[in-house]
């Protein structure tokens, strides 16, 4: 039951009202405004109309950084989803040490990116890296990874690390969804002779598809807003355009070059792109997500 | 047979997930010469604590550790208090603008931080609070979406009889929250404490934007600058020791509170 009381209700949510007004509503509106200005944060903003938007749109560096984010997401999201599904499905069987396994898979998720990046840079290292050592002892050649001149190798290495970092969370969400699949359906299918693989494909995955879909949307958004992984793995100050992503561009324009106008424009373009992709994903949702009525 | 296959795959997978942790620990305990050995030394021989001594004493990681704890403690207090207040308000009262506020809360989750980053930085600089801990602490006292969600869910599921009877006894709503409802929502509080601890401890962008003088750095900031410094280039073991110190507290918190953490993650993931 809800009590109607403007006084008490508003008093309780007052911290949120202040917080949202100061740290959300004002910044969003202000950032929208400065995307149409030239501003260095010290002198008053100068209105320049659509200049920043047109310049960003014409800037090849923006399209490269956008391509990189797309590529990053295209590797990260499917891989993370597939691994999380497979591991969650195994943990959903009668298995011992379930808690221990879950903790192992979840551990990367709780550790700070900076520390993770330092280790991964070492693992990916050309001369002394463990990965190249293993490859070389298997008879392959070593390769540069995060520091490769090929953008797709560099960004791809970061996407793989991101799978390591993020998989645990997706797995936990999917596992909890799997645990709510009715046991009777699975048992009925088993007595009719369906194998584990068939049950996974024909029952489990369709039943939890709304949750799979949700985790995919969340991972996509997290791929597009990823910042720490790029900040800690790449050197922001000397990052070549070929490896740039939109988020790092925003940071660099604003806090290294002091160009608040173009930086805000880029941030808004990123937001618009995220919105468009979420809308497209929602359209596809109807095609393959199974909802119970 | 099938089960054995599962165990093999699960163990192999878990081992792959743990390799970076084992590798950082192993290398943090190696001497300078042994870090760069080919074939690599898996178990350090001899084991040395020298890297940890350098990082803690000479590179002021002890100071950074203290700063991180300071920031985290205030974040915990602020987030729990404000989220409980706001969550209770949303759960138990009907008031003007409630729908709009709730929608705004969803919107705050959707907006990339980059959009609000510059104006927020501007606010703190105008307020003269750059290079203080305040930008990293004050927002926690103004409610945070995940926490509000958790408490809102929790309080909506608690019986209203509690509220009614306390009201008849002459309690005002604030006391009802603090003395009756909050003590009953300990699991929610624990979940939020763990999530907030990890979030605040791992925060990189906040310290990067707002902290300028070295003695105010948090661990993540200290580690970021260490990674780019010449000292670390000469001795990878030092970087590894710094990483171990930065990771250890969150890992310990996580291992002791897995239950709450996973619960919170599910409900925030599902409802968010």
pLDDT at A159 (0 to 100): 97
Compare CB distances from B120 to A27, A211, A251 and report the shortest one's residue. A27
Lowest mean pLDDT among A49-53, A228-232, B145-149, B226-230: B226-230
Lowest mean pLDDT among A65-69, B152-156, B210-214, B261-265: B261-265
pLDDT at A180 (0 to 100): 85
Compare CB distances from A90 to B9, B95, B258 and report the shortest one's residue. B9
Are residues B112 and A119, on separate chains, in Cβ contact within 8 Å?
A: no
pTM of the model as a whole: 0.92
Compare CB distances from B254 to A30, A110, A117 and report the shortest one's residue. A110
pLDDT in tens, B181-219: 999 999 899 989 999 999 999 999 999 999 999 999 999
Task: Taking residues B156-182, report their average pLDDT.
Answer: 89
DSSP for chain B, please give it: -HHHHHHHHHHHHHHHHHHHHHHHHHHHTS-HHHHT-SSPPSS-SS---HHHHIIIIIT-HHHHHHHHHHHHHHHHHHHHHHHHHHHHHHHHEE-TTHHHHHHHHHHHHHS-HHHHHHHHHHHHHHTT-TTSSHHHHGGGGG--HHHHHHHHHHHHTS-THHHHHHHHTT--HHHIIIIIIHHHTHHHHHHHHHHHHHHHHH--HHHHHH--SGGG--HHHHHHHHHTSHHHHH-HHHHHHHHHHHHHHHHHHHHHSHHHHHHHHHHHHHH-
pLDDT in tens, B93-109: 999 999 999 899 888 88
Chain B residue at shortest CA distance from A224: B112
- What's the gap in Å between the CA of A79 and the closest CA on chain B? 14
- Test mutation, B27, B117, B199, B210, chain A, max A CBs within 10 A: B117
Compare CB distances from B204 to A108, A114, A121 and report the shortest one's residue. A114
Are residues A28 and B111, on separate chains, in Cβ contact within 8 Å?
A: yes
- What's the gap in Å between the CA of A112 and the closest CA on chain B? 5
Number of CB atoms found within 10 A of residue A136's CB: 14
User: What is the pLDDT of chain B when averaged over all its residues?
Assistant: 90
**Per-residue pLDDT at B45 exceeds 60:** yes
pLDDT in tens, B179-189: 999 999 998 99
pLDDT at A288 (0 to 100): 66
Which ranges of chain A have pLDDT less than 50?
Answer: 293
Q: Regarding predicted confidence, which is higher, B114 or B162?
A: B114
pLDDT at B95 (0 to 100): 95
């Amino acid at each position: 039951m809800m009590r109607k009381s403007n006084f008490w209700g508003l008093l309780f949510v007052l911290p949120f009202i202040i917080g949202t007004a100061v740290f959300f509503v004002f910044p969003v509106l202000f950032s929208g405004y400065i995307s149409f200005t030239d501003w260095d944060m010290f002198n008053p903003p100068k209105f320049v109309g659509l200049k920043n938007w047109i310049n960003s749109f014409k800037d090849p560096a923006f399209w490269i950084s956008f391509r990189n984010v797309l590529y990053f997401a295209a590797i990260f999201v499917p891989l993370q989803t597939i691994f999380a599904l497979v591991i969650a499905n195994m943990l959903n069987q009668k298995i011992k040490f379930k808690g221990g396994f879950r903790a192992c898979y979840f551990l990367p998720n709780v550790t700070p990116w900076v520390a993770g990046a330092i280790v991964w840079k070492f693992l990916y290292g050309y001369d002394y890296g463990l990965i190249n050592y293993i490859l070389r002892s298997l008879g392959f050649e070593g390769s540069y990874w995060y520091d490769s001149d090929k953008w797709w190798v560099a960004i791809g290495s970061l996407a793989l690390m991101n799978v390591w970092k993020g998989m645990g969370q997706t797995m936990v969400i999917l596992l909890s969804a799997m645990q709510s699949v009715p046991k009777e359906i699975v048992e009925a299918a088993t007595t009719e002779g369906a194998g584990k693989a068939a049950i996974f494909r024909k029952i489990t995955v369709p039943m939890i598809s709304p949750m799979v879909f949700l985790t995919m949307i969340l991972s996509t958004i997290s791929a597009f807003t990823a910042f720490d992984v790029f900040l800690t793995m790449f050197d922001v100050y000397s990052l070549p355009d070929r490896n740039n992503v939109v988020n790092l561009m925003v940071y660099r324009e604003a806090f290294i070059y002091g160009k608040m106008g173009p930086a805000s424009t880029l941030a808004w373009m990123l937001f618009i792109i995220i919105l468009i992709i979420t809308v497209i994903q929602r359209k596809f949702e109807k095609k393959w997500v199974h909802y119970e009525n | 047979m099938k089960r054995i296959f599962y165990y093999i795959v699960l163990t192999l997978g878990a081992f792959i997930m743990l390799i970076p942790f084992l590798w950082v620990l192993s290398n943090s305990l190696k001497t300078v010469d042994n870090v760069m050995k080919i074939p690599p030394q898996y178990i350090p021989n001899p084991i040395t604590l020298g890297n940890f001594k350098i990082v803690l004493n000479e590179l002021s990681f002890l100071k950074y550790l203290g700063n991180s704890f300071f920031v985290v403690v205030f974040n915990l207090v602020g987030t729990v208090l404000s989220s409980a207040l706001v969550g209770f308000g949303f759960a138990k009262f009907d008031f003007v603008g409630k729908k709009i506020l709730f929608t705004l809360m969803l919107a705050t989750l959707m907006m990339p931080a980059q959009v609000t980053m510059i104006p927020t930085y501007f606010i703190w600089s105008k307020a003269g609070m750059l290079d203080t801990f305040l930008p990293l602490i004050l927002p926690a006292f103004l409610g945070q979406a995940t926490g509000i969600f958790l408490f809102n869910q929790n309080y909506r599921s608690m019986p209203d009889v509690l509220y009614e009877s306390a009201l008849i006894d002459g309690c005002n709503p604030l006391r009802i929250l603090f003395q009756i409802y909050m003590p009953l929502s300990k699991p929610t509080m624990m979940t939020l404490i763990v999530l907030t601890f990890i979030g605040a401890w791992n925060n990189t962008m906040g310290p990067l934007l707002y902290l300028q003088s070295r003695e105010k750095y948090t661990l993540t900031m200290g580690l970021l600058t260490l990674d780019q410094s010449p000292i670390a280039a000469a001795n990878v073991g030092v970087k590894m020791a710094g990483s171990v110190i930065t990771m250890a507290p969150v890992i310990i918190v996580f291992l002791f509170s897995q239950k709450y953490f996973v619960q919170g993650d599910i409900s925030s993931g599902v409802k968010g």
